[in-house]
Amino acid sequence: MPSVFASLTHLNKSRDPSIDQRRVPRDLVDMVSHITADGRTHGARIINISPLGLMSRTDAQLDIGQRITIWLPVAKDHAGEVRWAEDGRLGVEFLERIEQSMYDAMLSLIPPRQTAW
């Protein structure tokens, strides 16, 4: 007889879409920026970032799958796609990875955050 708990391994994963789905670790940051989507610009505060994507807080109502650009130091307007959106937060996957030397230069200009959300 199979165990009742055998199919419950999915419960160990967080329901937060920003957790357990990252391919690389994120750096905690605290930076005000802006997102452009469909020709409109929205304020944003970047919470964490990696060469592959970021999490931001924003009042913008953006849809999953929507293409955006986000302004970043050094990288300037960097294209991405909204991967998830929840409670004023959104996850963005960059369309192109930020080259490591550019990422390091950019990160040196962004204030670090001491705690996660």
Q: Where are the domains of the chain?
A: 15-107
The whole-number pLDDT of residue 5 equals 47
The CATH superfamily assigned to 15-107 is: predicted glycosyltransferase like domains (2.40.10.220)
Cα Rg for the chain, rounded, in angstroms? Answer: 16
Exposed, middle or buried, 57 (CB in 10 Å: 0-12/13-18/19+)? middle
pTM of the model: 0.77
Distances (CA, A) of 50 to 11, 41, 72, 93: 27, 22, 12, 9
pLDDT digits (tens, 9 = 90+) for 101-112: 999 999 999 888
pLDDT of residue 68: 98
